Structure 1
Amino acid sequence: MRLNEHTVITGKSVILTPYVSEHVEQYHKWMQDPFLQEMTASEPLSIEEEYDNQKSWREDDEKLTFIILDRESESMIGDVNLFITENEDSAEVWNGEVEIMIAEESARRKGVATEAIRLFMHYVCEHLPRVQLFFVKIGDSNESSLKLFEKLDFRFHKHVEVFSETELRQSVTGALTNSLKEHWADYSATLINKPP
């Protein structure tokens, strides 16, 4: 999605930056890790396929992604994504499937995923108001992600036995947007739209 191609969000511990071609090589290295493949339900791709994916993320109006950087070192530590789908009840509103990956083990269990998701969801609520429902699909073996999204007030929707995954949902309400604004202030977050 081109919406965020010149946007950088700086929080307390993380920086969210657009996914550009310079990030692909590191991303490709991450996705060779069998643990990350299992946690993200992903298949390993060739480096050429990863470059194609990066272009797809940039150009597809139904996908939004940021690379997560450690604020102190500005090194890549993961990514956060949104896949837009039509709402079952109304074509006027969208559902947004959220995904996050903290790929660098040294960055896990430090609160960066929580901060990144809150900043990301605030950005989505502000800039994609047609998204009225967030949801996640989490594999049964990924207990840490399940706990993370439950902590973020996502609620159980269903378990899909055939895919061994649980779907959690959270509607976009005034209470949610107010909470996200408060966290934005807590993180002293700033949004910068860089010139092209």
Structure 2
Amino acid sequence: MIERPTAAAHRVVSEVVKAGDLVVDATAGNGHDTLFLAGLVGDSGKVLAFDVQQAAIAATRERVDAAGLSGRVEMRHESHGKLLERAGRGRASAVMFNLGYLPGADHAVITEVGETVKAVVQALFALRSEGVMTIVCYTGHPGGEEEAAAVVAGLKKIRDEGGVRFELEIGEAVKEKAPFLVVVRKL
């Protein structure tokens, strides 16, 4: 059976994150990744969860509160373009992105290419050595293919220029317009 990109992202992140770590959910959405990360960091760790939509912040807060893990999560009702400023340089063990739109909300409100590329670059600097970034790219909605292409091209350019050392894994979509996973492992 083929592993879903979101499940693969969780597997990859769980191999790196330890109790006490600082981690980032750059796109809180409905809170699934935030809750997953809160479970990994333990009582001494911290999750920074970003989203520009109040509905996403509310849904994430409700999910985390219901699990009794709200003390581990700092909600940020702002763009993930503030990621480096909030997380600090070289401190995060993991950063997760789940691009696209908020399920169950207005599908016209999507992650924006420029802001996403900016946040992905910031995440490279926020990651500690041996940290990991996962980016689930959704290409089946308007703007999704362009965003995915910009993220991949930006990461390849940074890797090839050698400014930040990392390994880049680009998953393949199982069918046209299907989501795929990008994994960055900082060296």
If the length of structure 1 is used for normalisation, what is the TM-score? 0.37
Greater RCO, 1 or 2 (C-alpha within 8 Å, sep 6+): 1
The structure that is strand-richer by fraction is 1
Max Rg structure: 1
